[in-house]
Copies of this chain bind each other. A is one copy, B any other.
Amino acid sequence: MTRQLHLNAFLMSTGHHEASWRLPESDPFANTSVQHYQSLAQIAERGKFDSIFFADSPVLFGDVGRRPAGSLEPTVLLTAIAAATSRIGLIATASTTYNDPFNLARRFASVDHVSGGRAGWNVVTTAGPEAAKNFNLADQPAHAERYDRAAEFLEVAYKLWDSWQDDAAIADKSSGVWALNDRVVPIDHVGRHFQVRGPLNLPRSPQGHPLIVQAGSSEDGKGLAARYAEAVFTAQQTLEDAQDFYRDLKARTAALGRDPDTIKILPGIVPVIGGTVEEALRLEQQLDELIRPEYARLQLARTLRVKPEDLPFDQQLPDDLPDEDEIEGAKSRYTLIVTLARREKLTVRELIGRLGGGRGHRTFSGTPEQVADAIQDWFEADAADGFNIMPAVLPSGLTAFVDEVVPILQRRGLFRTDYTGTTLRDHYGLARPAGRTASLQEATA
């Protein structure tokens, strides 16, 4: 069988285009509607997607005037979706900067239990000073410090997930012994950021560990991904950039002694699908015309750490922007936006149009055949192991992808026609991690 694509549906209220909520078809209260998301997940499951995914940040970000704002906490939302689906993987974003490992490790293990082994965790360090102010801090911890904490956070989480052996509970009713004490052990973690005694207050979950996903593309972000991630979301504008990123991250992974095939790299794509090219472009244009540029400029100014007045709509970006080194927030997104604007000599207005669709992700408008080609090209050119599908409008953009693009990919032998496993790890072709306690015991036995 040829190498198989992996597809993740990145879901966001009425769609990734910031003006999608203004279309007549859109439910502007979709952001708090569990029925909306359950139905999207069912569409993605019908399309045999590996997983669905929710981004998240513990702060109300940007301007509530601009687009539907506020969102359901992702582990809660995915649990509600678990009940309405049976196979598709469920990936929630959670911050290592503004959570603590005991509670979060338990919550992901709980979602894994409740969903029968379908939980994934997008591990993020949360960029920006705004979030910090919701957690007793005046400003965010430095970028390097956040990533240092993230690595230790994951180490603690692994230890907690493995603190119960899979076979700890023997449930012997006649002798009255429920579990064996030496199979449930404290972790006694003592580190720079955390002291955690353990064990977890929950037996080991169906997948052992939830799938670990990572989505920051700075140097530190790639370092974390190479060490821990099993799937990586990334924003790449050109084939060459995507190939460089892919090569780099696979090499880093191999250099750490991991099989590079155990890390799946999924660039984002915002497909705008039409029956003809003209129809697709018309839809894209209709959406772009609904953007309110003053809101979008405010957001851009915030990302670039300049004042909105410094960004006249009909001029290119100012020359004296800071280096990535000086950015303590989202380094890789910053660089992507500046590089895109400079390379294509875009005015602020044009840049806003380009970002309105996918916030830095690649937008591709065309027929189903053309979208399938775009996916296949990158896949076969070693730029991707699959894609993070980010429909501009929801649900219609997802329905179009599932009904029109997926069958083409299936006919070309690039994508599954049915699920072959039951867990999220099964879908991504990743093994269930052996319990560390168990292997420790074997090693010393």
Measured CA separation A67–B196 after assembly (Å): 24
Distance from A373 Cβ to chain B, minimum over Cβ atoms (Å) = 34
Beta-carbon contacts under 8 Å, A18-66 to B: 19, 21-24, 26, 28-29, 31-32, 34, 57-61, 63-66
Q: Give the docked Cα–Cα distance between A218 and B178 (Å).
A: 33
A321 on the B face (CB < 8 A): no
Residues of B within 8 A of A71 (CB): 201-202
Chain B residues lying within 8 Å of A34, measured Cβ to Cβ, are 113-114
**Chain B residues with Cβ under 8 A from A77's Cβ?**
110, 114
* Copies of this chain in its oligomeric complex: 2
Shortest CB-to-CB span from A441 to chain B, Å, is 16
A111 at interface by CB-CB < 8 Å: yes
Question: What's the minimum C-beta distance from A10 to chain B, rounded to whole angstroms?
Answer: 18
Instruction: For A22, list chain B residues within 8 Å (CB).
Output: 173, 176
A221 to B73 alpha-carbon distance, docked (Å): 29
Q: Which of A282-318 contact B (CB under 8 A)?
A: 290, 292
User: Which chain B positions have C-beta within 8 A of A195?
Assistant: 133, 136-137
Query: Is A83 in the interface zone, CB < 8 Å from B?
Result: yes
Residues on B with C-beta less than 8 A from A84 are 83
Chain A 63-86: CB-based contact to B (< 8 A → 1; otherwise 0): 111111111110111011011100
Footprint of B on A, CB under 8 Å?
Answer: 19, 21-24, 26, 28-29, 31-32, 34, 57-61, 63-73, 75-77, 79-80, 82-84, 98-100, 102-103, 106-107, 110-111, 113-114, 130, 133-137, 164, 168-169, 171, 173, 176-181, 184, 194-203, 290, 292
